[in-house]
């Protein structure tokens, strides 16, 4: 592929932000770009679709909520583009690239649009490569992807071809930073790395307020809603509020209420509610004890608050909650009548235990080290059989200890969780007030 045709790659959006008449967003499809890249062409012919600026869902920094630190860093980049002389006079060089790193749905694309909008008066070109890990992954010797190395090499070559103070800047977005080739991350290519994390409590309040302003709603307790959506991304919150509006319309309500929002939150977290009762009453009984005992362990081990770091104690408590359902099945119905209903919980618990041992140095036997899986062209250290056995044994021990703690909690509070399970079997749905009333009666 010719270097001059590299901008035809999939996921590349070029926003021409300096035009005498009006701004445009240039979008290219991979199939058309690949077909045209096989023969010499003029740059103007790669423009598959030109969308006038007034037809775009344009964003500026004021429209992006919940990521103040990332916004501030990108505003500094915009300042570089607007006043390059201010920095070049001091001998400084403008950044060639900015890498946006964060989970899906945190607003990386919105921030890239905001940069293009803010810099359109000065920067000749802002190039945005979404999901850059799809074209910039680590080079490999694998014969299954013969063109992967050519793609990353061409990307590196093109970025080296930009003049430092030309006003052309590349924005890349990824949620898989560890998969990127190290040569792409060095200074001179992506000079600035901006982390776009999930919003904190105040950030969630800002995002909820923004999307609530677009719908008709009753008085909403923002604090309760923000506290109950810890870990939600901006996209999750937008989806939650949209689901609440749809539910309100289906119910024939004139406005969206707090109840609609709480139902939508639960749907985003756990999926749609199953209305139909199982025909097998024994299955209903097992399900009631499984779910209620799991939530009883949550009540006794988990304290909801805004988390900035997760401690070993908190990780173990999370695992205990995941073991609650299986522990209840064994205690109530016997070891021979445990079910497959705990598969998802066991998968999550195993993932936490594995990270504790292999990534976070939380095992005394394995020690303060990380156990990495070999990737890329250069294999990592080879693990001895004793180390592999020690890692496996530690993961198993952590899971077994968690299971025993969950059973101990349920034995201690057998009266309470029996009352909750029976109420759940009778009413099928319990809210916080129902649970408080049942707990008060059993004391």
List, for residues 109-166, the tens digit of each pLDDT value. Answer: 999 988 888 877 665 678 888 898 888 888 776 665 666 777 778 877 777 766 555 6
Which structural domain, as residue segments, surrounds residue 436?
A: 281-442
Asked, for residue 16, whether it belongs to a domain, the answer is yes
Asked, for residue 292, whether it belongs to a domain, the answer is yes
> 106 and 78: one domain?
yes
DSSP string, 77-99: HHHHHH-HHHHHTTT----SEEE
Could you give the number of structural domains in the chain? Answer: 3
> 290 and 353: one domain?
yes
Closest residue by Cα to residue 155 from 147, 166, 164? 147
> 35 and 143: one domain?
yes
> 173 and 212: one domain?
no
> 220 and 368: one domain?
no
**What pLDDT score was predicted for residue 380?**
47
Running DSSP on this structure, what letter comes out for residue 403? H
> 286 and 428: one domain?
yes
Asked, for residue 361, whether it belongs to a domain, the answer is yes
End-of-domain residue from the set 171, 195, 219: 195
**What pLDDT score was predicted for residue 133?**
86
Establish whether 389 is a catalytic residue. Answer: no
Residues listed for the chain: 443
Kindly report the CATH number assigned to the domain that includes residue 142. 3.40.50.300
Asked, for residue 67, whether it belongs to a domain, the answer is yes
Running DSSP on this structure, what letter comes out for residue 124? S
**What pLDDT score was predicted for residue 167?**
63
Residues of the chain short of pLDDT 50, as ranges, are: 1-56, 277-279, 290, 292-294, 296-303, 376-380
**What pLDDT score was predicted for residue 122?**
64
Kindly report the CATH number assigned to the domain that includes residue 205. 1.10.8.60
**What pLDDT score was predicted for residue 24?**
39
End-of-domain residue from the set 170, 195, 220: 195
> 357 and 322: one domain?
yes
> 152 and 209: one domain?
no
Q: Hey, CA dihedral for 223, 224, 225, 231, is it positive or negative?
A: positive
Query: Given 27, 291, 330, 422, which residue is catalytic?
Result: 291
> 243 and 286: one domain?
no
- pTM for this entry: 0.66
What's the pLDDT tens digit per position in 28-54? 443 344 344 333 333 222 222 333 344
Q: Which residues, in sequence order, are CB contacts of 368 under 8 Å at separation 6+?
A: 361
Order of strands across the sheet with 24-27? 49-52, 24-27, 12-16, 125-129, 168-174, 97-101, 192-195
Kindly report the CATH number assigned to the domain that includes residue 300. 1.20.58.760
> 207 and 226: one domain?
yes
Asked, for residue 421, whether it belongs to a domain, the answer is yes
> 436 and 338: one domain?
yes
Task: Name the pairing type of β-strands 97-101 and 49-52.
Answer: unpaired
Asked, for residue 276, whether it belongs to a domain, the answer is no
């Amino acid at each position: 592929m010719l270097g001059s045709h590299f901008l035809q790659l999939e996921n590349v959006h070029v926003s021409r932000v300096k035009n005498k008449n009006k701004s445009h967003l240039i979008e290219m499809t991979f199939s058309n770009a690949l077909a045209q890249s096989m023969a010499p062409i003029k740059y103007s012919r790669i423009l598959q679709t030109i969308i006038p600026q007034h037809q775009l869902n344009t964003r500026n920094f004021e429209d992006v909520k919940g990521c103040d630190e990332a916004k501030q860093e990108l505003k500094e980049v915009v300042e570089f583009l607007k006043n390059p002389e201010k920095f070049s006079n001091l001998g400084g060089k403008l950044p060639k690239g900015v890498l946006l790193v964060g989970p899906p749905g945190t607003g990386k694309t919105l921030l890239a649009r905001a940069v293009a909008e803010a810099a359109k008066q000065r920067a000749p070109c802002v190039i945005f490569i979404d999901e850059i890990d799809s074209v910039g992954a680590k080079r490999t010797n694998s014969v299954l992807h013969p063109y992967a190395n050519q793609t990353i090499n061409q990307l590196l070559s093109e970025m080296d071809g930009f003049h430092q103070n030309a006003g052309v800047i590349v924005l890349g977005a990824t949620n898989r930073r560890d998969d990127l080739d190290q040569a792409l991350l060095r200074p001179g290519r992506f000079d600035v790395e901006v982390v776009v994390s999930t919003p904190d409590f105040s950030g969630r309040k800002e995002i909820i307020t923004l999307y609530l302003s677009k719908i008709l709603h009753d008085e909403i307790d923002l604090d309760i809603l923000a506290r109950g959506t810890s870990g939600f991304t901006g996209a999750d919150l937008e989806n939650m509020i949209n689901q609440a509006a749809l539910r309100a319309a289906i119910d024939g309500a004139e406005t969206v209420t707090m109840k609609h929002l709480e139902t939508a939150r639960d749907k985003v977290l756990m999926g749609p509610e199953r209305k139909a009762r199982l025909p097998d009453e024994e299955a209903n009984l097992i399900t009631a004890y499984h779910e209620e005992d799991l939530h009883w362990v949550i009540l006794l081990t988990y304290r909801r608050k805004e988390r900035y770091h997760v401690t070993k104690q908190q990780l173990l408590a999370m695992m205990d909650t995941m073991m609650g359902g299986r522990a209840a099945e064994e205690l109530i119905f016997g070891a021979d009548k445990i079910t497959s209903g705990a598969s998802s919980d066991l998968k999550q618990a195993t993932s936490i235990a594995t990270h504790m041992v292999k990534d976070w140095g939380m095992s005394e036997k394995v020690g303060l080290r990380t156990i990495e899986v070999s990737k890329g062209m250069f294999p990592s250290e080879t693990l001895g059989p004793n180390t592999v056995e020690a890692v496996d044994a530690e993961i198993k021990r952590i899971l077994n200890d968690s299971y025993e703690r969950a059973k101990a909690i349920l034995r201690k509070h057998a009266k309470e969780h029996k009352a909750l399970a029976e109420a759940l079997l009778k009413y099928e749905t319990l809210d916080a007030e129902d649970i408080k009333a049942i707990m008060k009666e059993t004391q």
